Amino acid sequence: MGQTDMIRQRKELPFAEWPEKIQQCWDAAFFTGDFLDENGSGADLAPATRASLKSACGRFLRFLHNEAPVSAVADAIHPAALARYAEYKRGTCSNASVAIELHHLRLALRLIYPALDLGWLLNASKRIAQQGTETPRKHHLITSDRLYRVGLELMDAAIESADASENVSKTDAFMYRDGLVIFFLSVIPLRRRTLAALRVGKQLIRSGALWILDIPPEDTKTAQAIEFVLSATLSSRIDLYLERFRPRIPNAGGHAGLWVSNKGNPMDDGTIYDMVRRRTRKALGFAVSLHRFRHAAMTFWSIHDPANIRGGKDLLGHRSFGTTEKFYIIGQSRVAARVLADAWRRRATDL
């Protein structure tokens, strides 16, 4: 067992140690039958969402188990117990993190005990979230064009180094790979799991002079297929990576993963996440997470094309416009500000 797994096990009660009745209820929630059977209430949840809810429940059960082992956990799900749990989490987490934890726990418990009234838990998580204070973050101001330049500069530096030595070193190969990841995300801000799942010839397909993204529903959070025709600039950068830099990474020829790790395997989403934060911190003075690329894209769009900001729903792969509505509001605010500024300029001319 790895160190990460050991730490997780200390924080979470392993599923095998959950009370048997809860294990049965959990399995029933994700049951998928044929057309004669009714699927469980959680059968349509994405694997990543299922894992998050399971971890939240495991952490709560670990907390209860440490207090006093219980077999009928439903009897322990009451405001007093949740208040103790929230206070316990507040010792190491922010109010926002505690609110998210309680939200995930409520969703998990609703799957296990569908008849249980958990409205009070929803209200509690909202109250805790409101108590949190927003801290200013520099990367809230980042836009896609800045990230685009970071990726471009890394790739160009790798090319210059390789040309100077007339040989592509592993350092050059990793620098170009990292720059391409950042460059790619600045144009197409995929979610981290989808990004890590890219395989040449499967999700990334050549069509003439260009590359096409053809991502099936099982590789996306919303279970919706994604299709993109990549630009000529991005396609040519991918060509150079595949022809000149990727082969220099050990065991790159042993698999079709687009992003090759130092160990010769496809990079997982955690490794990509750490790399991007490290590279952006060095280039910008602060780290930019993978999810911030999605914010950066919408911020850029709201500045340069606010009238069409609703198209961001399709770019980000959201089911509804509600998730991207805040960027629409920002875009409309900027339009209003420009109209007001123009009106004042005209007024000043008339005076």
The pLDDT of residue 340? 45
- DSSP H helices, 197-259, are 232-240
Structure tokens at 340: 């007001």
Q: Using one digit for the tens of pLDDT, what is the confidence trace for 225-234?
A: 778 889 999 9
- Rounded Cα–Cα distance for residues 272 and 237 (Å): 19
73, pLDDT greater than 70 = no
Structure tokens at 193: 């799991």
- Sign, CA dihedral 3-266-139-332, equals negative
CATH number for region 141-300: 1.10.443.10
320, pLDDT greater than 60 = no
Counting Cα atoms < 13 Å in the Cβ hemisphere of 264 gives: 4
Gyration radius from the chain CA atoms: 24
Average pLDDT over residues 260-268: 92
The pLDDT of residue 126? 82
In sequence order, what are the residues at sequence separation of 6 or more whose Cβ sits closer than 8 angstroms to the Cβ of residue 65? Answer: 13, 17
Structure tokens at 224: 């919706």
- Rounded Cα–Cα distance for residues 290 and 269 (Å): 9
| Host H or E run for residue 228 | strand 226-229
The pLDDT of residue 136? 47
The pTM assigned to this predicted structure is 0.61
Q: Where are the domains of the chain?
A: 3-131, 141-300, 305-351
Q: Using one digit for the tens of pLDDT, what is the confidence trace for 169-221?
A: 999 999 999 999 999 999 888 888 889 999 999 999 999 999 998 888 777 76
